[in-house]
Structure 1
Amino acid sequence: MTVQDVRAFNRFYTNVIGALDYGRHLYAPYTLTEARVLYELAHAPRTDAADLREQLSLDAGYLSRILNRFEKDGLVERGPSQTDPRRRRITLTARGREAADLLEERARESVGALLATVSPADRPRLAEAMRTIRDILSGGRAPRAAARPEDVVLREPRPGDLGWIVQRNAAVYAAEYGWDADYEALVARIVADFAQDHDPRLERVWMAELDGRPVGCVMCVRDRAPDTARLRLLLVEPEARGLRIGDRLVRAVIDFARGAGYRALVLWTNDCLTAARRIYRRHGFTLVAEKPHRSFGQDLVGQDWRLELDGRNERGEG
């Protein structure tokens, strides 16, 4: 890649962004920078000037003038920080939130119009290309501070997602627990069996998506025991943890299994997966058996968990 390649892409991208704001109404009556400040305040309501300067890479004096104008116009309020008395917390007023919501609506409409020109088959490739540029130029530290639980979408798998389940399960468990290729082989068999022969009325896969990319998954399949479903392959990407994705995926399986007429939901896990076990317990699963074993290159303790779907042991949390 050369400097000219980057400059050519920049010119192209600038034209695309300019087309989104045809007629220059997208941010009116604010400038682009003012709109960015409103966006950050709307998505991180407990912030201060120092946070904004860092997040937006703005000059302190320039940001101060913007905030003074916003305060004069009744868009923001300043008060003492709850964590640092040397700082002043900045929050949107009701009027400020209305302004931020209006800008957000305009932005969604403009981007939606742009995406309407992209075929559905090309959208995953476009999202991946955008993500690649962001990750590389941020040194692999692309910001996700604004991510909220409500930004995560649970959806059906798309072409390529089942392969993602195999690859990410193998990579995450190898990195975090040292599991070898035997685990990848197991996941591949589970996914292949589902892809080859499953009843959509009784079996299903959920993908958790954030910013247009998968960050989690889970499966619900028929168990050998009658009237029993099995929860399998619950996974949440490390960088997406803390957004209650695991809780939502498990809740989706429980609701589906109950709606499909199953009387019980079971799962097998290992005692080293403490975060997953906490989720299962929150949703009412009980530990019914455990046994030491040697698998995936490690000495483990396997555990069988069970949830009666008539509600006798479900706590309804999550």
Structure 2
Amino acid sequence: MSAHEVQEIRRFNRFYTNLIGALDYGRHLYTPFTLTEARVLYEIAHTQQVDAADLRASLSLDAGYLSRLLSRFEESGLIIRGPSERDGRRQRITLTEDGRATAKLLEERSCDSAGTLLNRLPPWDRARLAESMATIRELLGDTANRPEPVLRLRAPAPGDLGWMVQRNAALYAREYGFDLGYEALVARIVAEYGERHDARWDRVWIAELDGDRVGAVMCVRDGIDTAIAPADETPPRTARLRLLLVEPEARGRGVGRALVSACVDFARETGFRELVLWTNSVLSAARVLYERAGFELTAEKPHHSFGRDLVGQDWRLPL
């Protein structure tokens, strides 16, 4: 752990708390409740058979503070306290009709507040933000008892090539704002593979986590769309990595690294002299994977494609 990493976390905390505070103006969500009070009401409303001890443990609240807070709720007619059905020594907490209405109001205003934040961003940035927040929760959450998902790379089965087209089109539209032109390009690439691939030189891998499709990649001889496979066993000089895809929920789990490695290993073992790829600069996460695998950026060129102004990039890995 470096001092820079510590400062980055603290800087993010300051930024986010200031951002939320700027939206709330005083009490939480323009209501008479503090953020802690609103969170307690949320937990009561969304948990079946909640006890005071459960609230204290799940929210890490001081017992005395929680008791005073619940007393205020009871005096305001928001909750009823009584013996727990599971353990008579515990207090069972139930929302009254007014309590349910208050919790519903807080839920609606919380959604509106989040919507205000998201509406500032274009669709592809909203997707990136949501995925980044999911990554933060995953990395900093309690994963001690969660079994590690099993990653498997396999050959494509019927339906997988169509899935590659659909998922590439949907994800790139959501994350980067690409239009139907990108889907048309992916469809042509996949169709060319389906019609002209030669198992000696061309491969597709489908990545699965616990049996669910979460990624894909293609490694083909360069010019598969126009070239005829050589009749002998001499491979073409250049292989091309295409259509690297990792589903958002699988990112950060080594899926992209495994797919890129599969391409590199196949190209090297088959006898290609180099592995190349074309991508766009906005795909920053993929760029990290390529750099780690040893690819070098050889050229960049601005272009307007898929409804956006982009910077295309050529990458090369000598084998």
**TM-score normalised to structure 1 length:** 0.51
The 5-angstrom pairing of residues 197-208 of structure 1 reads 197-208=196-207
Q: CA RMSD in A?
A: 2.8
Change (3 A) 1:58 1:250: farther
Match of 1:289 in 2: 299
Q: Deviations over 1:292-311 (max 9, x none)?
A: 000000000000000001xx
Paired-residue identity, %? 63
Match of 2:284 in 1: 274
Change (3 A) 1:250 1:58: farther
The 5-angstrom pairing of residues 303-314 of structure 1 reads 303-309=313-319
The 5-angstrom pairing of residues 53-64 of structure 1 reads none
2:248 & 2:196 partners in 1: Cα distance? 31
Give how far 1:208 is off.
Answer: 0.5
Q: What is the identity, as a one-letter code, of the residue corresponding to 1:265?
A: L
Match of 1:181 in 2: 180
2:254 & 2:308 partners in 1: Cα distance? 28
Tell whether 2:274 aligns with 1:261.
Answer: no
The 5-angstrom pairing of residues 213-228 of structure 1 reads 213-224=212-223, 226-228=236-238
2:49 & 2:160 partners in 1: Cα distance? 39
The 5-angstrom pairing of residues 49-128 of structure 1 reads none
The 5-angstrom pairing of residues 136-155 of structure 1 reads 146=146, 148=148, 151-155=150-154
1:58 & 1:159 partners in 2: Cα distance? 47
Q: What is the identity, as a one-letter code, of the residue corresponding to 1:243?
A: R
Q: What is the identity, as a one-letter code, of the residue corresponding to 1:235?
A: L
Give how far 1:211 is off.
Answer: 2.8
Match of 2:247 in 1: 237
Give how far 1:212 is off.
Answer: 2.0
2:256 & 2:316 partners in 1: Cα distance? 17
Larger Rg: 2
Tell whether 2:160 aligns with 1:161.
Answer: yes
Give how far 1:195 is off.
Answer: 0.5
Matched pairs, number: 177
Q: What is the DSSP-based 3-state SS (H/G/I as helix, E as strand, rest coil) of the residue aligned with 1:157? A: coil
Match of 1:54 in 2: none
Q: What is the DSSP-based 3-state SS (H/G/I as helix, E as strand, rest coil) of the residue aligned with 2:241? A: strand
Tell whether 2:262 aligns with 1:252.
Answer: yes
Match of 1:49 in 2: none
Change (3 A) 1:199 1:147: farther
**TM-score normalised to structure 2 length:** 0.51
Give how far 1:213 is off.
Answer: 1.9
Give how far 1:201 is off.
Answer: 1.2
Gaps of 5+ in 1: 1-56, 64-83, 87-140, 310-318
Q: What is the identity, as a one-letter code, of the residue corresponding to 1:209?
A: E
Change (3 A) 1:147 1:290: farther
Gaps of 5+ in 2: 1-47, 55-59, 63-133, 228-235
